[in-house]
A and B are shown apart, each in its own frame.
Chain A
Amino acid sequence: MTPAFRHKDGLIAVAHLRGNEYAQLMSIPPSVDPVIELDDRGLTVGGREVPMYSGAMHYWRIDRDAWRPALVALKDMGLTVVETYAPWSVHELGPGQYDFGESDPRKDLGAFLDLIAEEDLWAFVRPGPHINAELTHFGIPERVIYDRRCQARSPEQNPVLLYFPPKMFPVPSYASEAYFAEVERWYQRVGSIVSRRIYPEGPVILLQVDNEAAYYFRGSAYDQDYHPDAITRWHAFVEHKYGDLAYANAAHAREYSDWAAIEPPVRFDANEPRALVRHLDWSRFQEHLITTGLSRLRDIMASAGMSGTPVMHNLPPGDLSAPVHVPDLQREIGLVGLDYYHRASDYETIKRRTLYLAGTVPLPYSPELGAGIPAWFTPSTDADSLFCAMTACAHGLRGFNMYMAVGRDRWVGGPIDARGEPRPAMQDWKKLLTALARTRFVRLHQPVQTAIVLPREYVRLSRATHLFGPLSATVIEMLTGHAFGTSRGGKLGFDHEIQLQWWRAAQQAAQTLKALGVPYHYIDSEAQEARWREYELLCCPTFDFIGTHTWRRLKDAEARGARVVHGPATPELDDSMNQTNFDPIGSALRVDWSSSETTTQALKHLVESLQLARPYSASPATIETCVHREGDRDRVLFVIQPDNAPEVAAEITVPYPMQLTDSLTREIFEARDTLTLPMRGRSCRMLEIEPTATESSQGWP
């Protein structure tokens, strides 16, 4: 059978797979349904639900005699899927020479995948080329890294260094044809091992292309990529956008003689709207280059036989400021997730990132959720890792890959050590995973009717005006938790400092909704239309200019009955800075977002008139709740105390009498009108809801 994917609402990917020779070999029943489905509620393999919870184990870093104990422990913890990278630089001995176990038995990827199948587990394989994994040169062979043809370029055509330990190195280009050719040779070799083990012939049910493709944390607008192959792509991009050179000249305020003469900006030099256009185009091109680069790698991977499963990609912390287009990647690759490496003190960041995923993609998923931490990151504890996992689930994460489930070199922690023996932290993870399975958490949903729109054109403007050059906004966001605070000041010919104010407006909306007890998501303005249909109230910062696409989405939402709140300005320019007569959004409310008073006044009235759900209000004000439903029935309640404060007695209003069981401690709480709950500082409780006997007898579901 030929692998095939189809896309429709709610369905991310369907893969029809090949014959079943391996299935026979591995005693998998030949009648097995050779289809893997990935939809917005999780993964189905051959008709069986496979929970989207997996654990990372790096076979090449683990002694062979520890492989089986580690897999058994991983299974005992409640995981059914094992994730592993396949590291190019570890397997390659020289050009065209590889060791897949012939010399070092730990490098026998085939044997590892076979053992996974033997243990009745599934496999999720990530063959790079970039994998990081705390490997020197991020897992790319040194000969490739130092091949100038493969290197990304600075505006001055210099290599672009990544400063990560244990060695700085020049990063590869996502446009370099020479690099793609090298990757193709690697994919062909690793594909010869993986392809024979893809379901139903083997245990591989998920593949990932590359890793954290955000220009290796050097993604500032004018930091890279000026590689000649990237410039060729830039010319094609501009030609595709404008079609006619005259339009391009008008938009860029230049006199290009032909498409190949269109130079990319190398520094920010705009001081009026028209001069911004080429910068916004360049910023958009950087997103496009990542999307097309990954798409190319995905195609090469498929041509090497690594196909027939859903494919995903992961983005690093700091994603909000990164030059990546999540909705486009989602459309192009299949599933896009975010990596989480956060301490409990990063709660607001965990929340913000998860709410963005929940609003923007069909299946909020984390391909790397830190269980432990890289040796050179700010240290975190087991409690931090668990808090991060639980609060991300609370805000809507529906699946994750525990990274690392099995400890290894250059890593601190992990619930299973490198000899396959459980560590004390494993017990809490086991309880959490058991609870997620017991509640079929991936199938639950949240009653969220409100979204804050993040206009991508404003994200691009903030990126273009970033002031710290190679110290990218992504890195600043990772290190400090603050997004979009590093842009230059000044109005650039507008009435507002849009590059700074748009994010403040979005944050003001978020704070107001939180204070009103209204759950919300963030939605990327270029998210698929199906995502927009989920919401009854949309809050959108709008300034002097806006993309016609964003305005149309708001208009469409209003047309189908949603209410729109926007402001402070009604735009008059599109994102090519052309005067545009934007149709007014009839029932829209205009808010200037400048103060909590005015914003609260505006939103409170709307929330009440729309009768938006405000479930499980809590006091004191620092306590947050998130409810998850199965159909119309409340099934799981998360209660979060983000503050590092002494224990408090949280008071939570419940909609009907209920019994709640803490998933980890198994404490049982009864609540008639109010649930009183002791909450320690920086803690999260997952509570499973059951109706009381009285309520059950009255036909409660």
Chain B
Amino acid sequence: MIGSGFEFRGFDAVAWDRLLSLLRGALHTSLGPTLIVTVDGQGTSIGAFHTSTGRVDAIDQLEDLAQLCEDHETERCVVLEEGVLTEIAERASLRVDPDDDYVGQWLTVIRAARELRGEGRIRLWPDGLSSWPLPSPQILQVGENFLLPNGHAMVLAVFEGPALWTAAVVRRQHDLIDLLAGPDELKQWVGPLGGDWRRDFRVICAAVEQHVAPVHLGVFTEADTARRLLSDKTPGRWAAAVTTREVVVQPVPAWLSLALGADGLVGMASTWTQRLMGLDADQARDYLQAVVRGFTDDQGLPNLLEWEPVRLIMQAISTRPGAPDPDPSDDEQDEDSADTTP
């Protein structure tokens, strides 16, 4: 979650593109076109727009939205009653709390949209708006606390030969991500590197600790390794890479770095990235699911690790004083719980 004082610095276009290319590879996801259809009060189409090709003149039917998507070669479609976006905006303007962070504010807008979907004024295919549980800001905070506690930093440094290829340093303070720094900043903090990243990572961690915050998790590897691991379908690839020191995870214990570190870092980074890029709710949902799915190639974390990290997370959350009960049988709780299952 980012706040008013969020700092983003130290990326040139090349380093940023490299970082995003790794995340895109990790997520195995593409953002295909959307068909948006507006209907009048009788449900008759009065206008349709394809986000790639523009205006669509003829909409043959609106009963089978999956077929409609297929007919128009879109990944999703939205059918909106005329004026419903105005209604969302009006409701949101009354409810969005200036003190909420950006994600919290968006959750308020999405809730307003979901109300109107419930009133039958919005139809979606696939229907992400109803199936995607909306976590409360508090639940998001608990999850993020687990991955990156307040007052700590995460580091991802990717090398090509002896040189830094791209990097990201993330700091969390006062329940907000307040810094995302790139290689330009990191180089300034670290100074000249020795040329062997398997040794240099210690210098990097020390420099981040000195200039940013204690490092909760650091992931260090080479660009080729990162690309291979992020596109390789073989289960257990990360574990093997850590064992052979193709990937160095420091300072987090190996089991945690596997379950919640390497995966978690990229997952968190991708979540922040999509927030930064302002993706819509469907895309965000896809991304979040892809974070889990992409790293396990649909095998699921349990198959990959031979134990159940999600259960561990949920247990950890549920044992926190005051944390909500993760029992999904409660409707309201189900609504507000983070869906971390693959």
Contact = CB atoms under 8 A, between A and B. Distances in A.
Interface string A145-170: 01000000011101111011111111
Given A166-B4, A167-B4, A222-B86, A154 B93 contact: yes
Nearest to A222: B86
A382 B13 contact: yes
Contacts of B14: 381-382, 424
A161 B89 contact: yes
Interface in A423-480: 423-425, 467-471, 476, 479-480
B83 interface: yes
B281 interface: no
A156 B17 CA distance: 43
Interface of A: 136, 142, 146, 154-156, 158-161, 163-170, 222-223, 267, 372-373, 375-382, 385, 407-414, 417-419, 423-425, 467-471, 476, 479-480, 482, 485-490, 500
Given A154-B93, A418-B9, A470-B89, A485 B2 contact: no
B47 A467 contact: yes
Interface stretch (B48-56, B126-134, B239-247): B48-56
B86 A376 contact: no
Given A381-B17, A418-B184, A468-B85, A486 B49 contact: yes
Contacts of B16: 379, 412-413
A170 B5 CA distance: 18
Given A146-B98, A160-B93, A223-B86, A380 B51 contact: no
Contact of A490 (B46, B54, B275, B278): B46
Interface in B272-305: 275-278
A386 B80 CA distance: 39
A335 to B, nearest CB: 29
A165 B17 contact: no
B73 interface: no
B314 interface: no
A480 B86 contact: no
B80 to A, nearest CB: 8
Contact of B93 (A170, A417, A482): A170
Contacts of B276: 165, 375-376
B278 A376 contact: yes
B11 interface: yes
Interface string B15-28: 01100100000000
A161 B93 contact: yes
B230 interface: no
A376 B55 contact: no
A380 B13 contact: yes
B278 A165 contact: yes
A169 B36 contact: no
A412 B12 CA distance: 5
B250 interface: no
Contact of B13 (A163, A166, A376, A413): A413
A380 B45 CA distance: 36
Main secondary structure of the interface of A (DSSP, over half): loop
Contact of A419 (B83, B188, B275): B188
Given A168-B96, A417-B12, A468-B85, 15 more contacts: A136-B5, A146-B98, A160-B93, A166-B4, A168-B106, A375-B8, A381-B13, A407-B184, A412-B16, A424-B14, A482-B49, A487-B47, A488-B46, A488-B47, A490-B46
A417 B184 contact: yes
B3 interface: yes
Contact of A159 (B93, B105, B184): B93
B7 interface: yes
Contacts of B184: 407, 417-418
Contacts of A486: 47, 49, 55
A165 B90 CA distance: 19
B113 to A, nearest CB: 12
Given A378-B277, A380-B13, A407-B12, A166 B2 contact: yes
B2 A372 contact: no
A468 B98 CA distance: 25
B92 interface: yes
B90 A156 contact: yes
A246 B82 CA distance: 33
7 closest Cβ pairs, A-B complex: A485-B55, A413-B13, A482-B54, A469-B86, A469-B85, A470-B89, A485-B54
15 contacts: A136-B5, A161-B89, A161-B93, A163-B106, A163-B109, A165-B278, A166-B3, A376-B276, A379-B20, A407-B184, A410-B6, A425-B12, A468-B36, A469-B89, A480-B52
Nearest to B55: A485
Nearest to B92: A161
Contacts of A154: 86, 89-90, 93
A377 B14 CA distance: 15
A376 B47 contact: no
A168 B102 contact: yes
A158 B12 contact: no
A159 B95 CA distance: 11
Given A166-B6, A412-B12, A412-B16, A485 B49 contact: yes
B257 interface: no
Contacts of A166: 2-4, 6, 101-102
A240 to B, nearest CB: 29
A476 B49 contact: yes
A479 B46 contact: no
A593 to B, nearest CB: 16
Contacts of A468: 36, 38, 49, 80, 85
Contact of A467 (B4, B7, B46, B101): B46
Contacts of B93: 154, 158-161, 170
A469 B113 CA distance: 14
A648 to B, nearest CB: 25
Contacts of B3: 166-167
Contacts of B80: 468
Nearest to A159: B93
Nearest to B97: A168
Interface in B38-92: 38, 45-47, 49, 51-55, 57, 80, 82-86, 88-90, 92
Contacts of B188: 419
B175 to A, nearest CB: 14
Nearest to B16: A412
A83 to B, nearest CB: 20
A160 B94 CA distance: 10
Interface string B298-323: 00000000000000000000000000
Contacts of B52: 480
Nearest to A503: B55
Most buried by A among B12, B54, B88: B12
Contacts of A375: 8, 11, 276
Contacts of A163: 106, 109, 278
Given A480-B54, A487-B47, A408 B13 contact: no
B4 A423 contact: no
B179 to A, nearest CB: 10
A480 B56 CA distance: 14
Nearest to B96: A168
B13 A409 contact: no
A373 B13 contact: yes
A409 B184 CA distance: 12
B142 to A, nearest CB: 22
Contacts of A469: 83-86, 89
Contacts of B85: 468-471
Interface string B238-266: 00000000000000000000000000000
Contact of B7 (A146, A164, A409, A414): A409
Contact of A500 (B36, B51, B55, B88): B55
A467 B82 contact: yes
Contacts of B45: 489
Contacts of B36: 468
A112 to B, nearest CB: 19
Contacts of A407: 9, 12, 184
A496 to B, nearest CB: 14
